[in-house]
Structure 1
Amino acid sequence: MQRDRPNIHASTAGVDTGNQTTGQPENVPKPPAQRQESAPRPPRRSTRRGWKQTFNSLSNVHFRHFWLGMLVMMGAMQMQMLARGYLVYELTNQNAAVLGLVNAATALPILVLALFGGAIADRMERKRIVQLGQSGAAILALFIAISISLGYITWWHLLVTSVVHGSLMAMLMPARQSMIPQLVGKEMLGNAMALNAAGMSMSTMLAPAVAGGLYALIGPAGVYYVLCGMLVVSLLLTGLLPKSSNEASAIKTSVLADISAGLSYIRRTRMVMVLLLLGLATTMLAMPFRFLMPVFVVDVYHKGPEAMGLLVSLMGLGTLVGSLFIAGLGKNLRGLLLITLTFITGAALLLVSIFPIYTLALGLMLLLGLGDAGRRALNQALVMEVSDDEYRGRVWSVFMMNFGLMPLGVLPAALIAEYYGGQVAIGILAGLMILVSATVLITQKQLRRFQ
């Protein structure tokens, strides 16, 4: 045993020499230490800045398929809105009341069924729900296309399919949005949500123009056949995505119980509640201007439809820039930025209401689009980020109800515009938007400091 000890000391001396002796630095094993220091690869991902960081999420192959599928699907929906509107107007001999009824028919199911869609998204496989919704939308488009080709189409067909389509969207959208955090993770969630919003902005800008050209070239039936094909492409891209990882609860509960649990979660999670209320308030205050824009173009600026087209295009450009700006944004005072963008939206609307100058309005449309898109993209990203995965579908279903409640903001604004003018109506909404921004800034310390 005594003979073994020197051997043990000799073997350990070679390893510990650098720590125990200072007189022989040559024995310190430097190469292994240098290898360890040269190994950190993960930081390379976070050091990317500027425009390169803007598209980081698209390096994820699953999100890239998801994003392309969204682009095709949302493009089809935007094209359908234009084609359906023209077709209804032609079938009813320019009846504006029926046109409004058919367009509003999509919003009612969203308002009524969104909570059920959210609960289902949190208890079932989300990818399957999205595929079922896309399949249903493709079948509806094919049905309308065949009905037009056979000469059986009436505006009642379009009304019923609008209701069914709204019901499908109420089920599809909560599941679809809840998939994003699972595809990219929390670190890239803000970037992915902003790129998602940017894709929707691109669809809003480009798809209606494409639909108008196709409608004139191949007629309404041809447009609906194209829509069906686009929705099938979107369905195939969804098929390339991995299955969602949400785990079904071991305790079997009813859908109504799940909805109740989701609403309770929102009530007790202050940050989620504040973000949802802020999104609802700002949507109801900002969106009416888009519907009242013809009032400004005709009665305030005394221009024609081409002037309105330019205003809408510039707002769309601002929307795209705002979404890309949020996509390239790091995690730094995002809560304060959200409040600031809400204030910018209100300020732009206020300037539009005060100055009846068309050339000034062109610049303000860029500012309005940038502030509004940045606000929406950032709000959506923060809602998804602060929500627990098991509740994300239900949380998003509440956020989605904004679109169903939008008429509650449009109707009062339209009545005020009818009796007092569009400038007064938008001025009131702008003042309320600025008041909401100031109130949130003063009272919501947690949001103000959120990174």
Structure 2
Amino acid sequence: MRKRLTGTFRSLSVRNFRLFAGGQVVSVAGTWMMVVAQDWLVLERTDNSASALGAVTALQFTPMLLLTLYGGRLADRHDKRMLLTVCNLVSAVAALLLALLVLVDAATVAHVCVFALCLGTVNAVEVPTRMSFVSELVGADLLPNASALSAAYFNVARVVGPAVAGLVIAAFGTGPVMALNAFTYLATVAGLRLIRVGELHRAPRQDTRVRVVDGLRYVWSRADLVLPMALVAAIGMFGMNFQLTLPLLARTVFHTDALAFGLLTTAFAAGSLLAAFVTTARRGRPSGRTVTMAALAFGVLETVAGWAPGYGAALVLLMATGFTSIYFAQAANHRIQLGSDPRYRGRVLALYTLILQGSTPLGALFVGWLSTQLGARSGLYVGGLVSTAAAVAALLADRAGGRSGTPGGAPSRPGTEVRRRVM
């Protein structure tokens, strides 16, 4: 048992990664507290308007759609540690300003929209930089484990954050939650500044100009990267709108209070956390079939979760859906990241982030409108059915590729430079 635990947490033997992960747990918990508080505030101020909540969600993710590729270029060109420090400080200031407006009862939905847009702009740089920074912290050999642990601590925070937010909102309102979130960003900043720069695994600086288009061409030349990217696009747009569907399910279907909403979100996150720990055992690049089957399981379970007849059944089904969502996301992430040349990794992960999170504005607006017309359950039904259809299409495409002699794990063009690290 001890040996197994040592294997699961082996990346934590690296001091720099321990510092980074510790700061992230605190900061991400605050972020998820903020998500619950922000959504609850919008629903309170708009009489449970699904369209208003969809608009706020869209504003938060629209910068991801427009700016993430540029953020990946910055990550490949500049010091990732410094970029992350600046991003977290800007987020802290923005969160504090919104908290002050709420505390003095001056906040409007327009203020929330401005904050969402600001946070999304920062995230367009922070997310690809953070994802590619993990490889600098631990090196190639520990990258699969460190990536899985990153998902694990993210989901630990996702379990703790909403549960605490529900308690605090019920007792004191949304303002104190937002104020607390502002200060949690400082934990990440402290961890980043304590990192020993000399122990980072940095790739040699490129002499040529770092361009976004080169990263796009690199991905397009790789059939084994294009297929998981396409799956991530379909599922990210239609299936991963839980920030919108869960609060609507809680308020308009089960008619719960803030505490019960927090528990609903926590159940989803608990399943995600379990999946993250399961994937820490991965030591190499997953196959294309693993990614596709995980997508299929997610689509089926999300569809069933939309049918949940009661609050208790919803808790169980959302936990299972959360498990498959992270298992799929991690499988896709590992297949893409471990198959990419380190010189392009920031831009490749920026494209992955753009597709996964940047497609959310379009999906959020559609799901928000659909939920207004047909009810909160419809968002889960459509997300699950589209995800299932995308997974089936990917299975057929993979099978067709195998028959034509182009396996999913091989470059699509002869002579394409591919540097793989099989671990």
Pairwise same-fold verdict (TM > 0.5): yes
- Deviation of residue 167 (structure 1)? 0.7
Residue of structure 2 aligned with 1:326, choices 270, 279, 282: 279
- Deviation of residue 120 (structure 1)? 0.8
| Residue aligning to 2:256 | 305
Counterpart CA distance in 2 for 1:358 and 1:156 is 32
Residue of structure 2 aligned with 1:74, choices 28, 32, 42: 28
Give yes or no for contact 1:340–1:437 (8 Å, CA) kept in 2: no
- Deviation of residue 242 (structure 1)? 3.7
Secondary structure at 1:50 match in 2: helix
Counterpart CA distance in 2 for 1:220 and 1:174 is 30
Residue of structure 2 aligned with 1:208, choices 148, 154, 162: 162
Residues 21-420 of structure 1 aligned to structure 2 (within 5 Å): 50-89=4-43, 97-148=51-102, 152-243=106-197, 245-252=202-209, 258-288=211-241, 291-292=244-245, 303-305=254-256, 312-331=265-284, 334-352=287-305, 363-401=316-354, 402-412=356-366, 418=373
Give yes or no for contact 1:190–1:327 (8 Å, CA) kept in 2: yes
Counterpart CA distance in 2 for 1:426 and 1:362 is 18
Secondary structure at 2:338 match in 1: helix
- Deviation of residue 121 (structure 1)? 0.8
Counterpart CA distance in 2 for 1:331 and 1:252 is 31
Indicate how the Cα distance of structure 1 residues 120 and 356 shifts in structure 2: closer, same or farther if over 3 A, else same.
Answer: same
The CA deviation string for residues 345-403 of structure 1, in whole angstroms up to 9 with x for no partner, is 23324545678687765544343222221111121122221112221111111111121
Give yes or no for contact 2:231–2:391 (8 Å, CA) kept in 1: no
- Deviation of residue 214 (structure 1)? 2.7
The CA deviation string for residues 127-149 of structure 1, in whole angstroms up to 9 with x for no partner, is 10000001101111232334445
Give yes or no for contact 2:162–2:265 (8 Å, CA) kept in 1: no
- Deviation of residue 209 (structure 1)? 2.1
Indicate how the Cα distance of structure 1 residues 424 and 143 shifts in structure 2: closer, same or farther if over 3 A, else same.
Answer: closer
Deviates more, 1:234-243 or 1:426-435: 426-435
Indicate how the Cα distance of structure 1 residues 351 and 87 shifts in structure 2: closer, same or farther if over 3 A, else same.
Answer: closer
Report the aligned-residue RMSD. 3.4
- Normalised to the residue count of structure 1, the TM-score between the two structures is 0.76
Q: Among the aligned pairs, what percent are the same residue?
A: 25
Q: Partner amino acid for 2:120?
A: G
| Residue aligning to 2:393 | 436
Give yes or no for contact 2:55–2:364 (8 Å, CA) kept in 1: no
Counterpart CA distance in 1 for 2:100 and 2:366 is 40
Secondary structure at 2:345 match in 1: helix
Counterpart CA distance in 1 for 2:104 and 2:247 is 36
Give yes or no for contact 2:274–2:323 (8 Å, CA) kept in 1: yes
Give yes or no for contact 2:70–2:212 (8 Å, CA) kept in 1: yes
Indicate how the Cα distance of structure 1 residues 366 and 411 shifts in structure 2: closer, same or farther if over 3 A, else same.
Answer: same
Give yes or no for contact 1:107–1:166 (8 Å, CA) kept in 2: yes
Indicate how the Cα distance of structure 1 residues 166 and 415 shifts in structure 2: closer, same or farther if over 3 A, else same.
Answer: closer
| Residue aligning to 1:425 | 382
Give yes or no for contact 2:159–2:267 (8 Å, CA) kept in 1: no
Q: Partner amino acid for 1:120?
A: L
Indicate how the Cα distance of structure 1 residues 428 and 345 shifts in structure 2: closer, same or farther if over 3 A, else same.
Answer: closer
- Deviation of residue 118 (structure 1)? 0.7
- Deviation of residue 150 (structure 1)? 5.6
Deviates more, 1:322-331 or 1:235-244: 235-244
Larger Rg belongs to: 1
| Residue aligning to 1:42 | none
Give yes or no for contact 1:342–1:437 (8 Å, CA) kept in 2: no
Deviates more, 1:317-326 or 1:138-147: 138-147
Counterpart CA distance in 2 for 1:201 and 1:338 is 20
- Deviation of residue 314 (structure 1)? 3.3
Give yes or no for contact 1:119–1:394 (8 Å, CA) kept in 2: yes
Secondary structure at 1:387 match in 2: coil
The CA deviation string for residues 140-174 of structure 1, in whole angstroms up to 9 with x for no partner, is 12323344456654443332222111111111111
Q: Whose relative contact order is higher, 1 or 2, with alpha carbons under 8 Å and at least 6 apart?
A: 2
Q: Partner amino acid for 2:382?
A: A
Deviates more, 1:414-423 or 1:335-344: 414-423
Indicate how the Cα distance of structure 1 residues 352 and 84 shifts in structure 2: closer, same or farther if over 3 A, else same.
Answer: closer
Counterpart CA distance in 2 for 1:72 and 1:239 is 16
Give yes or no for contact 2:131–2:349 (8 Å, CA) kept in 1: yes
Counterpart CA distance in 2 for 1:363 and 1:94 is 25
Q: Partner amino acid for 1:229?
A: F
Counterpart CA distance in 2 for 1:145 and 1:412 is 29
Q: Partner amino acid for 1:82?
A: V
The CA deviation string for residues 245-283 of structure 1, in whole angstroms up to 9 with x for no partner, is 244432346xxxx11111111112332223322222232
Indicate how the Cα distance of structure 1 residues 49 and 218 shifts in structure 2: closer, same or farther if over 3 A, else same.
Answer: same
